[in-house]
Structure 1
Amino acid sequence: MGYYHDSKDGQLPYNPNDVDIRQQSFAVHHIVEMIKEEDIYLQPEKRRRRSEEWNKEQKSRLIESLIMRIPLPIFYLDGSRTPWRVIDGTQRLKALYEYIEEQEFGLVGLEYLKNFERAFFSDLPFNYQRAIQTAIIEAYIINPGTPERIKQDIFLRINPDVDKLSVWKRRRFYYRGAPMQFIDKLARDTHFLDATGQIALRARNRDEDREYVLRFVAFFCFLSSYRPPYNDFLEYTLDRLYDFTDNELKHIYSSFKKAMDAYRDFWSDLSFLSDAEFSDFKKLRSIDLFEIWSVHFGLRSGDELEILMNRREYAIRHFMALLKEGELQEALQSTSFNAIEFRFRAIHDLINNVIYRYAY
């Protein structure tokens, strides 16, 4: 659990009084209606491995259990936002929705009700349909106001296998839907691929691409809100993306494309530290260079970027001078509040001096 929330030995990473969870009972037909109305988010994960998907027999046994009035294991739902997210129980809810509402499959592999093999929901006798629809399922609902770190810890404790996955696989499981779809969209954009051409020359790492993109979105949107730990800040960004309107996402996307074009034109072959000029800065990473410059490019107007491009060599020389002074280079190797603030302010001041003062 340490990846998300480091804590001192013997101390909890948060106040237990902040845990706000209620238990609630639902009739199956109510849950199905919530899914239909998109009050519960149940879009299938395109990248979910087939081995993790329930087959028709597993789904059929679930339906058989409801007819037989056998209680299902408890569900966990994040009710802190709309639509609700499923923390535990995705495959069970999908089975219910696909059988009752979409009628995607007939029952197979039943243990007791063998007379109803291959029966769709509409084929069942009314009393069986009624038994399924009125069956009661129990769920724990995370209430609004519960801190994000608590919701993540609940998710990982209920899904212990997820905690063994890579950082981005964990994020993909937890931030299903809009956040990951948006990050994926930006990571596939040709403007980004062109700007990061040196990555493309390597075996392209999609998770690495997403890390670049997420850093841009995080600091472009929430720079003034930054607080360490760094990974918590990135995941704060993913969580906030659920609340963004279509127009806000379009603005970020437009600014991102503008920033990528500027990044490509400004840095050219220097963009991924391939030039000998950077040989003195062994600890400087391409992703940190990308982070500070791409965000500033995204925040600048087209006219400002045009002036900056015309004075590109001048700006790069002064950036190199800043690195040699040492303080910026040290700030690029830290994720403390002061370091993040310093490195973004340094590039902001450098760009302003290049555009508006002509001299440093």
Structure 2
Amino acid sequence: MREYTASLKREAERLLSEGRVKTVIAFGPGIDPLAPIPAFAEDKDEASDLLVNAFSAPGLAKYVLDEVGGVEKPEHSVAVLARGCDSLGIARLIADKRVQRQSVVILGVHCDGVIDRGKLLALNPAFSRTKNIKSVAIGEDEVFVEAELADRSAVSLRGRPEDLLLDKCLKCLERDPVVFDIMLEPEAGTMLGRETGPTPVGDRGGVDQGEKEKSLRARRSLVAETEALSSESRYEFWARQFERCIRCYACRNVCPACSCRKCAFDVPDPEWVSKCTWLSEQFMFHFLRAFHVAGRCVGCGECERACPMGLPLSLLNDKLMKDVEEMFGIEDPHVPKESEPLGFYSPDDPEPWAKEVSEG
């Protein structure tokens, strides 16, 4: 990721001082320099601690729901830093009418990918003693990382993107935000962000279609591999995955498409899914959640990133996304639209029952 921290700080300070927003959601320093954490700034002093870099892994969309979600006329607005995946999640919340568009100021940034801390430490454990990140360069074929260690010595590493980036970044569908108000400039804070005014969902501007096609091929290749399995082998594959699930609900909690006011998994009566981790209940939980977000998944990969057990949850969602695209003829099914494929009725539906209903 390019250097946006200075521009982010300047824009956050401006929005807060002008009273346009109550809170700015971005990243701040954590205990580990390689693991920035979501941060919330409510004044200029707190804004000075904000940052964004190539290690900023968590998605920020769901925090918008926590701040201004579910209110028709919120008393205040928030600003949020948004990469491509973050903006898709925010657009999902807006399309679902869980967040009002006028209540959020979206600060867009281009993203080349986020470095996976675990992969980096596996390749060179010395990075665990990082004091400061000195330089990061992410290219199409190579990633370079240089850091200053606690003893003031330096360490660096070059590697392939697949060996260093988060898995979800290797299948990224949108490196630029699909919706934004202000596009931050990467020139190390030499100017404020370029204020463009609100952009409509889906106005992606300079998206690299070659990169997008590459990501789509990667997703479809993995889906095709599981589709090619026999029913028995496919069941065994998912059984091996789901039996490791500890039902922590991290996938549900980070998902911008999981924004129901009352989640079916939390309803005690009727109890749709038991809290037990029997394999049958695990299948029920994951398949039910997948069907609930079918046609609405934005492909951000947060469910898989947040899973402490490393379950390939994106594979399940990508399968349903592929089916939605093929069965309903939806272009870019990951981009939220005004009407969703499973959210409207059409007499032209190829299924026989739809014709019978339309004819009375």
TM over 0.5: no
Q: Higher strand share goes to which structure?
A: 2
TM-score tier (shorter): under 0.3
Please give the TM-score of this superposition, normalised by the length of structure 1: 0.28
> Which of these two proteins has the greater Rg computed from alpha carbons?
1
TM superposition score normalised by structure 2: 0.28
